[in-house]
Amino acid sequence: MAEKPTSGELFGVPYNFERPKLSKMLSSYWQPGEGMLVEKPFGVGYTLNLANWRSWIVLAVAGVLLYQQQGSDEDSDESAVDEAVEVVVDD
């Protein structure tokens, strides 16, 4: 039986299921001179290149949105009061 490939590309999306080494993991997230997205060291798809300044902006925006989401959840929990609601239905 033929051996299945552990890395390659499928429909233009890279995949890699080889056991990663620590040095490869670290070097894959920090690639100066490359774009904002780089191939994942393990799994399917792309990840952020932390050597690119645009990646830090994406992380900051995601952090701000997460902070706002958590703040709005706390506000809605406090304002939610069990009150009777009258519903009028016209026949």
- pLDDT tens-digit series, residues 35-66: 999 999 899 999 999 999 999 999 999 999 99
Decide if 90 is inside a domain.
no
| Structural domain that includes position 73 | 7-78
CA dihedral 7, 34, 36, 42 (to 10 degrees): 20
Decide if 1 is inside a domain.
no
- Give the rounded distance of the alpha carbon of 87 from its chain centre: 43
Decide if 84 is inside a domain.
no
Give the total number of structural domains in the chain. 1
Decide if 86 is inside a domain.
no
The predicted pLDDT at position 79 comes to 54
Decide if 87 is inside a domain.
no
**Burial (CB count within 10 angstroms: exposed 0-12, middle 13-18, buried 19+), residue 48:** middle
Decide if 85 is inside a domain.
no
pTM for this predicted structure? 0.65
8 Å CB contact between 18 and 3 = no
The predicted pLDDT at position 60 comes to 97
Confidence of residue 25 (pLDDT cuts 50, 70, 90): confident
- Mean pLDDT score of the chain, rounded to an integer? 86
Decide if 88 is inside a domain.
no
The predicted pLDDT at position 44 comes to 92
Decide if 22 is inside a domain.
yes
